[in-house]
Amino acid sequence: MPHSSLDFNIGWFAGKMSLDLLNYTSIDNAFVYTKSLGTGNASQMARISIENKFWLAFRGTVELKMYPWFPVESNSVASQVIKEIELPHLTSEMEIPFEVSNPKLWTPETPNLYKVQVLLKDRDGNIVDDFVSTTGIRTVDQAGGSFRLNGEVSMLNGAQIMGYRSPIEDMIKESRCAPDYWVAKEILQIKKMNGNLLRLHVHNWEFPARGVNDPRYAEYADQLGMMLLWCPTSWIRTGRGWGDVDFENFPKYMKQVINHPSIVMWEAANHTQSFKENPVSESNIYCEQVHNTLYPVDPSRIISYNSFIQHFHYGNDEGTVDQQGNPIQPSWAWTALNITRGNQDSPTGYGREWNDLRNYPGEYRTSFLNSKDRAYFNFEHQESMAQPNWNLVKGKPWYRMHSYEWDYDIGSIGRRLSLDEWKESQAWQAFSAWEAMKKMRFLDYDGFSWCCLHGGANSVTYKKPLIDFTGAAKLAWFANQMVFQKTVAGSHDVDVVYGPEDKIKPVVLNWNKEQTANVTVKILDIDRKEVSKKEYKNVLLKAGRTVNELESFMPENLKEGFYFVVYESEQKEIMQSEIKEISNKSNNRYWPRQK
């Protein structure tokens, strides 16, 4: 496979094994999820599967209890329900609804967890079997066309991993079975970047390129506060989506990790490229297979058919035309409940010219971005390369070596940057990422996953990652850290040259509660001396994901030359009683989200 080395000694995570000695009747699995959140309560659903191998029916009770478990463990029961049962000689699945009062919700900022205990008792009250798991109380949906967490508009912002970790001598052996510290390290690297998403995009062979189902990622993410886009072992990186996805075992992999609240999305495939070579009916068949395999197992999470839906025939969110505008007949599964949208959008990547960003997003993506029913994610983005600091890797086998990505410079910059221009290379990647991601936030994208978090792929010659193989962050890591702030100011266009009649157009992006901001725009000369300044006081920022355009201005007495334009924003939460007064005085124009 091109992304890996020629070492075929790929390890496999074989932990979490146990031997359970069971009675004739036992609990096979218990899945607890949140159906809805009310005022002061959470409506929960428990799906409990019980296997009875005895020739007589089993009569007794199922008792379920929930306890606060993290960050503080408690013996106080948060909820309890008892159900009398009579089970025939077979496997039975039952649904038990129950309520939790005053729930402590799971979010990346407040990763509250509960312990779930399920007891199976015979009719004399003796415990026959038990099942213990941990979970969180939270909902995910895309009502109104935006990704929502616990009913509030949210985003999924972060990066993906490929599984190639240092040191190089252990990279392949540990690709599918990372040491514990690496599992925690990757999550923390994203959190420090202001991210809240890890896409588990681990693969190490080509056909079919399988994912992993390592439960440690979910366990750590539950407690550290990281949302996960889960690509289990049935997932494929590329290939034939309808033939290579392991549909038979997909539910088994799901059930191994199904109670973890950090997992917010199931992904069936990455960029399967064979659909356009075949009739649209094949895309329809694939979508139905994925939906009918995943949704019955878990109705509580959103589902991605493919992280690059442009490989399908569908040319709009409704699926009624192909990408050339011809009418087609979509399957019901294309617009089914919980199905989300996303592509691998890189308007400044792969050697594209800057004008592509100016003209972005085009008619095709606009249809998905304006959907009132489904979110739209950038599942793998900004495929621009940046050389590492070569001084950190002198003597290494990959010192001053390039991969296939070097020619991207020719399209974007006009020539290949030399190996001595590694600083310029990192500056280009970071700058182009900031401008592209900033514009995509204008367009109301629901989140980003950079490809990829750290180096190692292509025998350490993959230059796109945010962190190099030595662990040094490139400038693009800091650009992501900046754009992932919940409130951030910048220019409302992507132009990099101002003419004599051009004005500076400040804008504040807010993904937060309603608040006010004091915004300052400074113009610094090449020596970083301030030559002009514009201040905006008490700018009202509406709640949700909003774009707040400020009054444009033209700096005076500037000579031709190079300048820094610095945007500073200081936010303050406001009381409800202050909103009307501030609205009357505010000099900003509020733009509601596109949807």
- 456-488: pLDDT as tens digits: 998 899 999 999 999 999 999 999 999 999 999
CATH of domain 25-138: 2.60.40.10
With the CA atoms of 236, 241, 242 and 246 taken in that order, what torsion angle do they form, in degrees rounded to the nearest 10? 0
- Around Cβ 581, how many Cβ atoms within 10 Å? 12
Confidence of residue 584 (pLDDT cuts 50, 70, 90): low
Is 373 a residue whose pLDDT tops 90?
yes
pLDDT, tens digit (0-9, with 9 covering 90-100), for 217-230: 999 999 999 999 99
Which DSSP string corresponds to 383-433?
A: -------GGGSTTSTTTT---GGGGHHHHHTSSPPPGGGHHHHHHHHHHHH
Q: 488-591 in CATH: which number?
A: 2.60.40
Dist CA 235 CA 241 (whole Å):
9
pLDDT value at residue 176 = 87
Peptide bond into 208 cis (omega under 30): yes
Say yes or no: do domains 25-138 and 141-484 share a fold. Answer: no
Q: How far apart are CA 553 and CA 395, in angstroms?
A: 52
pLDDT reported for residue 242:
74
Query: Among 5-14, 45-54, 349-358, 552-561, which stretch is predicted with the lowest mean pLDDT?
Result: 5-14
What is the mean pLDDT of the segment spanning 397-406? 92
C-alpha atoms less than 13 angstroms from C-alpha of 223 in its C-beta half-sphere:
14
Count how many residues are written for the chain: 595
What would the mean pLDDT of 399-426 be, rounded to a whole number?
A: 95
SS3 content of the chain, % helix, strand, coil (to 5): 25, 30, 45
> How distant, in Å, are the alpha carbons of 23, 27, 84, 87, 457 from that of 55?
13, 17, 20, 11, 55
**pLDDT band (50, 70, 90) for residue 593:** very low
Instruction: Report helix, strand or coil for 215.
Output: helix
pLDDT digits (tens, 9 = 90+) for 156-197: 999 999 999 999 989 988 888 899 999 999 999 999 999 999
Question: Across residues 84-104, what is the average pLDDT?
Answer: 93
The DSSP result for 17-67, as a single string, is -------SEEEEEEEEEEEEE-SSEEEEEEEEEEEE-SSSPEEEEEEEEEE
pLDDT at 531: 95
Comparing 203-212, 482-491, 570-579, the range with the smallest average pLDDT is: 570-579
Query: Given this model, what pLDDT does residue 580 score?
Result: 53
Mean residue pLDDT of the chain comes to 92
Q: How far apart are CA 586 and CA 502, in angstroms?
A: 24
Count Cβ neighbours within 10 Å for each residue of 166-202 and write b for 16 or more, e otherwise.
Answer: bebeebbebbbbbeeebbbbbbebbbebbbbbbbbbb
Residue ranges of domains in the chain: 25-138, 141-484, 488-591
pLDDT (mean) for 2-29: 81
Structure tokens given for 251: 């539910």
β-strands 156-161, 79-87: how paired?
A: unpaired
Quick: pLDDT tens for 284-334.
999 999 999 999 999 999 999 999 999 999 999 999 999 999 999 999 999
Query: Which of the residue ranges 113-117, 137-141, 580-584 would you say has the lowest mean pLDDT?
Result: 580-584
Q: Quick one: CATH architecture of 141-484?
A: Alpha-Beta Barrel (3.20)
Strand 376-381 with 341-343, pairing: parallel
Q: How confident is the model at residue 210 (pLDDT cuts 50, 70, 90)?
A: confident
Q: Which two tokens stand for residue 48?
A: 């409990």
Q: Any bridge partners for residue 415, and if so which? A: none
